[in-house]
Amino acid sequence: MAAEAHSTATLRLTVGDLRIVHPITVPSGRVPATDVVPALQGLVNAVVDAAEASLLKSGGAISCRKGCGACCRQLVPVSRTEGERLLALVRTLPGEQRERLRQRFATAEAAIDAAGLADRAGRHDRELSLAYFALRLPCPFLEDESCSIHPDRPLVCREYLVTSPAELCAGPVQEGVTPVAVPKVSMAARGLQGDDDWFPLALLMKWAKTRPKSDRRRTGPEWVQRFLGAFKGA
């Protein structure tokens, strides 16, 4: 079978004070949006690297450390395209790990339902985030305070870094937490398939039961154009 053809381009972006030059490679043919997620992860990584380099240049330092999962108790907003990609990833995991995840997702779903946070209608994002964080609900993908899907973690997880002492991140209202000014490129993924929506990562399995389904395909470069268009328009 012939190898799938790919297209490569060098993206040159100005994001705030950051200048990003990043080669991006995507399938040339018509594919589902999920197939360009690895390229979007690479782009977000490049933006985060540039923000980190800028911080270091100005004398700052990131305090996040492996094994500190405080931020993995926050509400993690995930786009439909990333949700579909994560569901596909979960299907490839060994049965034992899938079962552990199934149980953790069920626990999280019950806690979110009991707190009345499953329905976002009429709630301000900040109010919802604080109420969610107050549940102290670990992300189902968190194992031993580390991300068990680190290479595949959502875009928004990549963008969250802090310079303040790690213990502040566990505080009830996260007072004194100083996030690094990373441009939120991840937001552009929300409208990639046209529905402009998100759901909390901890409700991935619940979302899977009612998620919108379509077999919309575009070429890889077209998906990236849509993503960049949404980002510039944000």
In the complex, which residues of this chain contact ligand SF4 (CB under 6 A)? Answer: 72, 76, 139, 141-142, 147, 149, 153-154, 157
Residue 31: beta bridge partners? 218
Q: Least Å distance between CB 117 and ligand SF4?
A: 16
Report how far residue 117's alpha carbon sits from residue 51's, in angstroms, rounded to the nearest whole number. Answer: 33
Joined tokens for residue 99: 């079962």
Beta strand pairing status for 18-27 and 6-15?
antiparallel
**Smallest distance from ligand SF4 to CB 141, Å:** 4
Identity of the residue, 146 or 225, whose beta carbon is nearer to ligand SF4 in the bound complex = 146
The DSSP call for residue 162 is B
Q: Closest CB to ligand SF4 among 20 and 147?
A: 147
CB of 212 to ligand SF4, least distance (A): 22
| Nearest to ligand SF4 of 18, 76 (CB atom) | 76
| Residue 177 vs 224, nearer CB to ligand SF4 | 177
Phi, psi of 198 (to 5 degrees): -150, 170
Tokens of 166: 């790690």
Q: What is the DSSP string of 190-230?
A: TTTTS---EEEGGGHHHHHHH-------EEHHHHHHHHHHH
Least distance (Å) between residue 154 CB and ligand SF4: 6
CB closer to ligand SF4, 11 vs 142: 142
Query: Least distance in Å: CB of 67 to ligand SF4?
Result: 12
- 212 and 80 in contact (C-beta within 8 Å)? yes
